[in-house]
Structure 1
Amino acid sequence: MKIGIIGAGTVGAILAKSMALAGHEVFIANSRDPETLTEVFRDFENIHPVWKDELTAKSEVLALAVRWKDTRKVLEDLGDLNGRILIDVTNNVDENFDLIDLGGRPSSEVIQELAPSARVVKAFNTFKISKYLDDRGTGIISFIAGNDEGALNTVSELISSIGFVPYITGTLSFGGRLMNVKGRLAGKTRSKEEADSIIKEESEKEIIKK
């Protein structure tokens, strides 16, 4: 796949390297000149630093890996994503890692509102990002949530290709909430049995609410 990554900090850089090692073509942009990233990725022939406004045209799938406070501006700058898959890797925390209140809403629902023409999938946010390089191929479950079946399938394929096991948690409203900061699936790796149990319990709570 051709993957575009918005944000070249720790999260974006690790995702870029992990995807490149799996043979994907990766285009990555920060808020500055692409030349500032040349040295960071000099050992990866298939990682290409580009200007931010080049990402959409060059990529099949985009990954949003920026600080929460920058999400609105970044998505406004990207403009119409015209049905492109947008992987939301963000967490709604500030520079001190304190939770930013979204009125109880999952962060990915907010991202979907900011990028209405994109097919948003929540992924790569529930455990330490370094595991996507350090623990490749060890069978770790990587959670995803979204409202579009085709987008979920594509991101599942991407997760499998980098050596992890995709686990679809549900819609952005349901699964995204569980994956959000302080959500029941966030903060550490989980076994399939643990995840199944949590999903079952939370699904039953939803039924009771209705």
Structure 2
Amino acid sequence: MRIGIIGTGGIGANLARKLSAAGHAVRIANTRGPASITELAAESGVVATTLDEVHRGVEVLITSIPFGRVPDLKPIGDRLPDEVPVADTSNYLPSRDGRIEEMDSGTPQAVWIERQLGRPVVRAWNALVQTTLADKGRPPGAADRLALPVAGTDPAAKKLVMGLVDDTGFDPVDAGTVDDAWRMQAGTPAYCTELNAEQLQKALALADHDAARVRREAILAIIRSWEPSDAIFEDIVALNRTAAGLHRLLGPFRPSDSGASPTTRRTPGCS
């Protein structure tokens, strides 16, 4: 499949690597231009291109940029054929994106993104930390395979993106329409908690809209209080599980529960 990706951060770059390794033809762009992507292109076999060209000839476009910058992509979305799905990986983080009134009043993030782009969107790969994407994909049927939620209103577009989630090493779980996509936002039991498909389905059902917003603010405050040298992605997963009360459903969290690799110290956060 011909895939375009906008964004070369922790999620976008790892998606490029995974999807290229799965046999897809991947084009990738960012705001800094192709010269900034040469190392990633050489390593992964993707094609580095410009924002003006990344959408040309693709069968799906993946946007993986900070949430607050999504409106900047509308000109690209306007040039994309109607039949080409858009999948978005971003999350609203007020400390980075600034306060967005619609988000703070409860509008689902996927609904807001669709309004900004003026076209349907599928939500995927937003509910995981970047090391989960990089290190914990497994072949279909593996006992320790994790799952990811996917939400979208167009059945065909959602099916296509779910297939790509499978190609990146995770079981796709249907999380409903864009109106249901709040169940996979920050602060919910499904967000950055590294669950298998059965557990994830239960976690999506446990989501509480008001509680999620409170948890999100508390979790982000805790993460911001950590020293950068102590910013461990496994700790972020454990924090999200604990805040959501998943110990009642899953038992005490241990890194080995999800096939965790050795502790890695990097900058914290999901996409």
Change in CA separation of 1:135 and 1:169 when aligned onto 2, cut-off 3 Å: same
Distance in 1, matches of 2:64 and 2:206, equals: 30
Of 48-57 and 191-200, deviating more is 191-200
Residues 177-199 of structure 1, C-alpha deviation per residue, up to 9 Å, x if partnerless? 11112233112112333333344
Distance in 2, matches of 1:177 and 1:80, equals: 28
Sequence identity of aligned pairs in percent? 26
TM-score (norm 1): 0.86
Change in CA separation of 1:195 and 1:39 when aligned onto 2, cut-off 3 Å: closer
The 8 Å contact of residues 63 and 87 in structure 1, kept in 2 or not, is answered as yes
**Matched position secondary structure for 1:4:** strand
Change in CA separation of 1:182 and 1:49 when aligned onto 2, cut-off 3 Å: same
- Structure 2 partner of 1:136: 137
- Structure 1 partner of 2:242: none
Amino acid at match of 1:54: E
Select 2:171's aligned residue among 134, 146, 165: 165
Matched, 1:108 2:110: yes
Distance in 1, matches of 2:73 and 2:154, equals: 23
The 8 Å contact of residues 66 and 97 in structure 2, kept in 1 or not, is answered as no
The 8 Å contact of residues 94 and 100 in structure 1, kept in 2 or not, is answered as yes
Amino acid at match of 1:182: G
**Matched position secondary structure for 1:105:** coil
- Structure 2 partner of 1:191: 196
Shift of 1:23: 1.2
**Matched position secondary structure for 1:109:** helix
In structure 2, stretches of 5+ residues that fail to align are: 139-143, 209-271
Which is helix-richer, 1 or 2? 2
Distance in 2, matches of 1:77 and 1:61, equals: 13
Amino acid at match of 1:111: I
Distance in 2, matches of 1:99 and 1:184, equals: 23
Summarize the alignment of residues 47-126 of structure 1 with structure 2, pairs less than 5 Å apart.
47-81=46-80, 82-96=82-96, 102=103, 103-117=105-119, 119-126=120-127
Which is strand-richer, 1 or 2? 1
The 8 Å contact of residues 145 and 196 in structure 2, kept in 1 or not, is answered as no
**Matched position secondary structure for 2:192:** coil
Shift of 1:68: 1.6
- Structure 2 partner of 1:23: 23
Shift of 1:97: 8.1
In structure 1, stretches of 5+ residues that fail to align are: 204-210
The 8 Å contact of residues 141 and 166 in structure 1, kept in 2 or not, is answered as yes
Larger Rg: 2
Shift of 1:79: 2.2
Change in CA separation of 1:37 and 1:199 when aligned onto 2, cut-off 3 Å: closer
The 8 Å contact of residues 99 and 181 in structure 1, kept in 2 or not, is answered as no
Matched, 1:11 2:11: yes
Change in CA separation of 1:97 and 1:85 when aligned onto 2, cut-off 3 Å: same
- Structure 2 partner of 1:43: 43
Matched, 1:146 2:159: no
Change in CA separation of 1:17 and 1:95 when aligned onto 2, cut-off 3 Å: farther
Change in CA separation of 1:202 and 1:8 when aligned onto 2, cut-off 3 Å: closer
Distance in 1, matches of 2:191 and 2:98, equals: 15
The 8 Å contact of residues 27 and 55 in structure 1, kept in 2 or not, is answered as yes
Amino acid at match of 2:182: R
Change in CA separation of 1:201 and 1:93 when aligned onto 2, cut-off 3 Å: closer
The 8 Å contact of residues 7 and 28 in structure 1, kept in 2 or not, is answered as yes
TM-score (norm 2): 0.68
